[in-house]
Chains A and B, each alone.
Chain A
C-alpha cells in the first residue's frame, strides 16, 4: 500500500474536473480533481459548502434543551447528536442513568445504524454501481435464477416478481419523465453489472425503501417520532409499565415491546437475505475496484461504542482506538479529554485563528467565520468556477489526532475492532474476504481488501448485520432487567439546575453511522457557556492543514482512473463510500464568534 501523500506532492497540472453539487449526500459539498493524460486522479479538493452556526445559537441556553438543538445538526443520522449531547451534559453534571435507559438508548442507536446503513447503500450509494436503464434488458427468468443463487433463502425471487418490476420500469422510462434517474451516467462503461443483477438491485432499492420506514418505528415507540425522536437528560422519557394500572397508555408496555422485537427480526431478515448478499455480489462484479482506500490503510480512529457494562469502555462491542502510519499491529488508546490528542486547525478553512499553525482542543475551540478566497480562484466571490486549495477553501475545519488526519466510520470501527481481536468482527470479515476471493478467483489480502472503496461499503453492511443481531440481545436484557424488578428509566436527582455546580464541563462521545462523534460542553451558572462538536464528516471531509496533510476524502480519490472525466461516476463511488454528511460537519462556534458576523440583507 502507498504511504500517505502530502499536498506538496500532488500534481494539479492536469485537467480540472468540478463536481458541484455532489448529490446523494446529506448537505452541500463540492469536489474538484485534476486528472492526468490517462484520466487518473492526481489531485483532489473537498469543499464543505454550508455553515449554520448551531453552536453559536446554543450559548446561554438550558443544557437540558441542547439535545434538541444539536439533533437538528442532521436529520439523516437522526438521534445520534441528541444522544451524544445528553451524554455530554450527564458527564458534566455527574449523572448516572438507569440500566433500562442505557439499553433503550442502545436500541435506538442501533436502530439508526441499521436504517441509516440500509438507506445509504440502496438510496445514496447503489446508483454508483447499479444501472437501472440496463435492467430493462434483463431476462426475468435469469434474474430469478441469479437471485436464488446469491440469496437462496430470499423468497422474493420468482420470475414473475422480476417481470412485473421490469414492466413497471419500462413504462417509467418510456414515459419520458425520468425523474431522479434523469441525466444519469447510464452509457458509461464504468457500470459493470449484468442486466439481471441490475434488475435484482433495482428490486431491492424499492424493497429497501419499504423496510427502512418500518425499522425506524423503534424510534417512534421509544422517542415518539422519526426523524428526530425525543431524548432526555438523565435517562429516557418513555416510562415502563408492563403490568399496572394505565399500562395500555404507557410508552413501554407489553405490546410496544412485542412490536419492537418484531421490527428487529424483520431487520435481521432483510440484512441477511438482501443487503449482505447484494454487497458481496456487487463487490464480485467490481473486483478491480480495490482503489479508493486512501487513509484507510494508514490512519484510523474510533471512539468505541455499544458498552455492555455501563461505565466500562473496555466492554464496548466495537472498541475505541487509533491506528497510525499503517501499523495495524498496534491499536493506540484514545483520550478525548487530553488537549494534546484531538485538535482542530483552520489554515485551509473559512475561519480565523490568532495563530493558524496551532490547533485547538474542542474545549478551547474558537470559531470566527472568515469567508475568503485565494488569489488563484477562478470566477468571483459569489460565482466560484474553480477553488484555490492553496488558500482557505472549505467551511469544514481540519481535525487531527496527535497531528494525523484520520479516517473515521464503519470501516475505521471494523479495522480497529479486527485489530483489537474482536471475534465477531474477525469472523464476519474473514468470511466476506474468502467469499470475495472465491467469487472472483483472486487472492487478495486483508489489508488491500478492507482499505478500499469496496471495503468501506462492505464494512458498513457487516456493521449493519452486527447491530441488527445484537439488538435482539439488548431487547432480552431489557426484558430481563424489568423481570428482575427494575422499571426505572430516568434519574432525576440532578434535574433541577439548583443542584448543579457553578461551573462544570463534560464530553459526550459516540460512534455515529458515519464515524467518531464528540460533543464538548461547558456549563456555567446553569447555562451553556460553550458547546463544540467534532463530527465524523469533519474528520473525513477535512481540508488540508498547515503542514499539507490531506484529509480522507481527498486522499481516497487519488490514483483512481476515470472512464470519462466529464462523468464523475468514480468520484461519486468513493465519496459515497464514506456516506458524506455535510450539515453535520460545518457548524462550529466560538464563545466570542457571534459579534464578528456582519448582517447584510440582500
Chain B
C-alpha cells in the first residue's frame, strides 16, 4: 500500500510546482463555492490521501451521465481518472470486458470493502424478474445490491438513479425504480439532472475526496451546494420576469431581445439546479441563455408534469416568495425558514399536478 501515491505526489512528478499546486487548490475551492481558507485544507487532503476507489455501475439509462462526466473542465476528467480517483469499474471506459471485467469488479470490492464509492448511473427495472436489464447473464438489480453492500457511500448520478427519469415515466413499463428503493441501508447522495452538469459531478466527487465526508444534503438528499436554489433565482433573464417582459412566441422580437421565457413554458421557477450559476460546458451557456425554457430535468417526475411548453401556474408575476410560502404552508403544513421555502416549491409542483388531474381537490387545498 505504501507504493500507492497521493494526488500531490502525482502532480509533483508531472513537474507541477508547489506554487501551481496551491493555485490549483484555490481554484478547486472556488469551484466548490468555498472560501480561500479551504484551499489549504484541500491541499492537505491532496498531499496525504491515496486515490479513492470508485465503482461505477450502469443500469437502465442512456449514458448521458458518463458523457457529461467526461466533459468536466475543472478538474479535467483525465486528472480525475488518472490522479484523483481509481475508477476500478466503469463499463464505458474500462479496457477489459466479460469475465475480466467482472473479475475487476470483484477484486475492487474485495480489496476495498467499506472503502469504495459506488456511483450509479441509471436504475434497475423490477419487472420481468429484473431481466429488462441483464448484466453478466443476471438481473442488473442483483449486481447493484451486491456492489452496494461494501460501499462507503453511494452516489446516484442523474435523474435515472435519483428519481427514475424517462423510463419510469408513465406507464413505466419496465417498473424502473430509483436506486434508493433497492439500496435502503446506505446513504444515497442524489445528483439529479438529465444529465447533471459535468462540474457538478466532479465537484461532488472532489468534495467527498477532499473532506472525506458526504456533502450536506437537503431533504431530498441532494447536495445543498448545487441544488439549494432555483434556476429562476439566479437567471440572467430574471429582471425581465420582474418587469413583465416575456417572449410570447418563438422567435418574436422579445425572443431576440432575450426576454423571459416563462410564458413559453420555462420551468426555471420550480427547478432546483445550478444551471443559471455554474452553467454548462465550462460556463458557456445554459438552456435559457440559448433561448429554450428550462424543462425541469433535475426535478422528480418532471416527465409527467405536463407539456414542457405549458406555462407554470401558481407563480405570481411579483412577490413569488410570498405566494410560494402561502401555498407551501397550506399544502404541506410546514412553517420555517429555509426548509419551508424549499418544501414550498415542491408543494407548488405537486399542487400543480393535482390541479391538472383533480380541479376540485386543488380548490380545497
Q: Which A residues contact B (CB, under 8 angstroms)? A: 18-28, 30, 49-54, 56-57, 61-62, 64-65, 68-69, 72-76, 78, 119, 123-124, 127, 164, 167-168, 171-172, 174-185, 206, 209-210, 212-213, 216-217, 219-230, 232, 234-241, 244-246, 249-251, 256, 259, 369, 371, 379, 381-385, 395, 487-490, 492, 495, 566-568, 572, 583, 593-594, 597-602
Contact = CB atoms under 8 A, between A and B. Distances in A.
Contacts, number: 362
Contacts of B175: 599-601
Nearest to B73: A213
A62 B309 contact: yes
23 contacts: A23-B91, A24-B92, A28-B140, A52-B167, A52-B176, A54-B166, A56-B171, A56-B173, A75-B62, A124-B92, A164-B14, A168-B82, A171-B13, A183-B100, A212-B70, A220-B281, A223-B287, A224-B286, A225-B285, A235-B250, A492-B251, A597-B173, A599-B127
Given A20-B136, A224-B290, A492-B249, A179 B97 contact: no
B63 interface: yes
A600 B307 contact: no
B258 A249 contact: yes
B131 interface: yes
> Across chains A and B, which 3 residue pairs bring their CB atoms closest together, nearest first?
A75-B64, A246-B257, A224-B287
Given A241-B256, A245-B257, A250-B256, A19 B98 contact: yes
Most buried by B among A49, A239, A598: A239
Given A62-B309, A250-B256, A20 B5 contact: no
A602 B182 CA distance: 9
Given A68-B308, A227-B64, A168 B10 contact: yes
B338 interface: no
A74 B62 contact: yes
A513 B300 CA distance: 31
A235 B281 contact: no
B273 to A, nearest CB: 11
Interface in B209-259: 236-237, 249-251, 255-259
A487 B198 CA distance: 32
Contacts of B100: 183-185, 567
Contact of A176 (B4, B73, B139): B4
A123 B92 CA distance: 8
A119 B92 CA distance: 11
Given A54-B166, A123-B93, A22 B4 contact: no
A245 B256 CA distance: 9
Given A65-B309, A74-B62, A75-B65, A206 B78 contact: yes
A21 B15 contact: no
B281 A210 contact: no
B82 A21 contact: no
A182 B134 contact: no
B132 A51 contact: yes
Nearest to A595: B171
A64 B97 contact: no
Given A210-B76, A246-B259, 13 more contacts: A18-B137, A20-B137, A65-B308, A68-B295, A76-B63, A177-B4, A177-B88, A225-B287, A237-B292, A251-B290, A583-B62, A599-B127, A599-B175
Contacts of B365: none
B346 interface: no
B351 interface: no
A20 B98 contact: yes
Contacts of A236: 291
Given A21-B91, A228-B194, A171 B5 contact: yes
A246 B260 CA distance: 12
B86 interface: yes
A180 B87 contact: yes
B4 A168 contact: no
A600 B169 contact: no
A28 B4 contact: no
Contacts of B165: 72
Interface in B275-305: 275, 280-282, 284-292, 295, 297, 303
B316 interface: no
A558 B337 CA distance: 67
A69 B303 contact: yes
Nearest to B50: A177
Interface SS majority for chain A: loop
B257 A21 contact: no
B206 interface: no
A181 B286 CA distance: 35
A53 B280 contact: no
A183 B96 contact: yes
Given A68-B295, A183-B101, A224 B280 contact: yes
A382 B141 CA distance: 11
A234 B257 contact: no
A594 B138 CA distance: 24
Nearest to B250: A490
Most buried by B among A227, A250, A371, A567: A227
Contact of A30 (B14, B85, B93, B137): B137
A225 B282 CA distance: 10
B32 interface: no
Contacts of A490: 250-251
Interface in B28-65: 50-51, 53, 58, 60-65
A235 B97 contact: no
A600 B126 contact: yes
Contact of A384 (B67, B88, B134): B134
A179 B171 contact: no
A78 B64 contact: yes
B184 interface: no
Nearest to B134: A49
A119 B60 CA distance: 22
B68 interface: yes
Contacts of A235: 250-251
B330 interface: no
A210 B307 contact: no
Given A174-B3, A224-B286, A225-B286, A602 B280 contact: no
B252 to A, nearest CB: 8
B132 A220 contact: no
Contacts of A175: 3-5, 51
Nearest to B290: A224
A222 B138 CA distance: 42
Interface string B160-174: 000001110111111
A161 B98 CA distance: 35
A232 B292 contact: yes
A122 B114 CA distance: 33
B263 interface: no
A176 B70 contact: no
Contacts of A240: 256
A78 B97 CA distance: 24
A217 B286 CA distance: 11
A27 B282 CA distance: 27
A382 B129 contact: yes
Contacts of A78: 64, 67
Given A64-B309, A127-B95, A227 B195 contact: yes
B133 interface: yes
B173 A600 contact: no
Contacts of A212: 70-71
Nearest to B288: A224
B263 to A, nearest CB: 13
Contacts of A68: 295, 308
B173 A239 contact: no
A531 B208 CA distance: 43
A429 to B, nearest CB: 30
A68 to B, nearest CB: 6
B147 interface: no
A555 B125 CA distance: 31
A246 B236 CA distance: 12
Nearest to B100: A183
Contacts of A179: 51, 81-82, 85-88
B236 to A, nearest CB: 7
